Chains A and B, each alone.
Chain A
Amino acid sequence: MYYIDLAVTGISFGCMYAMMSVGLTLVYGLLRILHVAHAAVFALGAYATVLAANATGSLALGFLAAIIVTPLFGMAIYRLLYEPLLGYRPDVPMIASVGLLVLMQDAFRVVFGEQGVTFRRNAFSFTTFDFYGVTVSAVQIALVVTAAIVFLGLHLFTTRTRIGVGWRATVSKPRIAASFGVDPIKVRYLNFAIGSALAAIAGGLVALLNNLVDPAIGFVVSYKALAIIVLGGLGSVRGTLIASLVLGLVEAYGTIFIGAWLDRDAIAFLALIILLMIRPQGFAGARAA
């Protein structure tokens, strides 16, 4: 039972990481930018969820607010920060992005306070189910289900809809896609909008799970998601999903078995560095090379 409990923990971590990182990997795939400020988008999503939910008394409205606000923010980042920097080498927008994250994190502190915000009513957080001795919380189930829906939806969107196919084509072969009438600029905005919305959902769920949104909430995302998308072979959605789940599981077991000499954050990077030394191109191979 114990190991199953750990696995449940690991899988729910993994789903959470996957939703945090997928936006990052989409941006990288399209623009070759390490969008570190994605973590600020995630944090904004968490704040929007909790604040709107507290104001309206409805969790659904909270999430709705988050997936309206964050895509706008994400697209604004693209328009105001990245677009003018596209001509430079990729380090340049990345450093700007780090700057934006630091700025936003401090801005959250100044605006929403050091203490953080909690849900006023959050029965959801404290609901659990027992499956033959394995305890699963409602939020964990929500995480896994949402992640499944999101990734399935993303898959369908990019294979079945016109705009989705155009999007995927733009990511892999921008010139050809453009010649078939796909507007690459529109695709970029779409990319930021979808990636940001997913981060917002992840943010809202993490807020529920912790029942706390503090200014540091995005910080963990910023570096762990970076490790994940590199592990996943930058730009690969499937690789990101796999890397997230693997990392979630490694952390769930690792916290117990190697926690005595390395802390949890370092585990992700240890895995990352080992992998990069063996396979410099990441899990999913040469797709982005």
Chain B
Amino acid sequence: MSAYTISIVSIIGINVILAVSLNMISGFCGQISLGHGAFFGAGAYAAALAMFATANVPLAVVAGVIAGSLLGIIVGFASLRVRSDFLAVTTIGINFLFVGFVRKQSWLGGEMGISGIPPTGLGAAGNMVMILLMACATVALSLYVSRSWMGFAFRAVGEDEQAATTLGIGAGAYKLAAFGIGTALAGLAGALYTFFTQFITVDAFDFIFSVMLMAMVVIGGIGSTWGVVTAAVGLTLLPEAIRFVNDYRLLVFGGMLVLVIRLAPGGLAGLTRNLFDRVRQA
């Protein structure tokens, strides 16, 4: 396997974790978050610091997960206080605050970022395998959650919070749970990203990146794990496979986002379901 394949598979794995975890917050539980990059970044920075302190990979993963979910639960508490459209703006705000804060922190490398992060010792291929395993675990978790009573309750909260409450479902607790799980996974992705690049700068976690993640979720079909996985893989590969997409990346992604919402709001998942229904009818 060439170094190129290894790195593209690694990035795909990381993007899958990010998109699937965002889908748990925004798709399953209906809490639109446009600041997923912040949790990703928190995990990456925490893992980087942990690697410098201990050079212990599991510990760094744990640090990333904790940092991501801590920030996530704080935002989750905010989500309990604000209306849903305020939440989108609040999460954008969290993203800008995170970037604006880290930029100025010399202990986090400020603008320079953090480089020379100790390697995991697994090599590029080993890292890739680790990333893939984590991505598979994330997908499995997502599939499990959507089948469990928790996923059921998430759907209820996402659709009508008050109605859910009258069925004994504590909407607040579930929103926190969604943010907690989703952002913990984003933190995990952050740690893996740190292992992959061994060098992080805050620009990698900006608002535009969060928008790209949301694009993956929406294009894949909000709420559908497999749809989102497909979109994450496809949208990561597309610029690689097609030169035109590479040169006009934002044009294409933005355009796809608009077209999908406008013409096929169910995303890829909706399209397949639709096709499947028609085949069955025929």
Contacts and interface: CB of A to CB of B under 8 A. Distances in A.
A107 B81 contact: no
A34 interface: yes
Contacts of A34: 85, 88-89
Contacts of B78: 273, 276-277
B100 A81 contact: no
Contacts of B88: 34, 91, 94
A249 interface: no
Given A227-B89, A276-B90, A261 B208 contact: no
Contacts of A261: 101, 104-105
A107 B251 contact: yes
Contact of A234 (B85, B215, B254): B85
Query: Counting chain B CB atoms within 10 Å of each CB, which of A93, A103, A280 scores highest?
Result: A103
Contact of B257 (A90, A95, A230, A264): A95
Interface string A224-248: 0011001000100000000000000
A95 B254 contact: no
Interface in B51-92: 78, 81-86, 88-90, 92
B268 interface: no
B6 to A, nearest CB: 30
B82 A280 contact: yes
A95 B257 CA distance: 8
Contacts of B248: 106, 110
Nearest to B253: A102
B143 to A, nearest CB: 24
A263 interface: yes
Contact of A103 (B32, B94, B208, B250): B250
A102 B78 CA distance: 27
Contact of B104 (A92, A262, A268): A262
B104 A263 contact: yes
B214 A95 contact: yes
Contacts of A80: 262
B254 A273 contact: no
Given A34-B89, A276-B78, A266 B96 contact: yes
* Size category, A interface: 35 or more
A265 B100 CA distance: 7
Nearest to B103: A263
Nearest to B159: A89
A181 interface: no
Contacts of B90: 272-273, 276
Contacts of B214: 95, 98
Contacts of A276: 78, 81-82, 86, 90
B218 interface: yes
B148 to A, nearest CB: 24
B189 interface: no
B93 interface: yes
B86 A99 contact: no
Interface in B98-153: 99-101, 103-105
Contacts of A106: 248-251, 254
Given A34-B89, A230-B86, A99 B258 contact: yes
B258 A90 contact: no
A201 to B, nearest CB: 25
Nearest to B261: A96
A223 interface: yes
A101 interface: yes
Given A91-B84, A106-B248, A260 B104 contact: yes
Interface in A241-289: 260-270, 272-273, 276-277, 280, 289
Given A34-B85, A103-B251, 13 more contacts: A80-B262, A88-B265, A91-B84, A93-B261, A96-B262, A103-B255, A105-B250, A106-B251, A107-B251, A110-B248, A110-B251, A266-B100, A280-B82
Interface of A: 32, 34, 80-81, 84-85, 88-96, 98-107, 110, 223, 226-227, 230, 234, 260-270, 272-273, 276-277, 280, 289
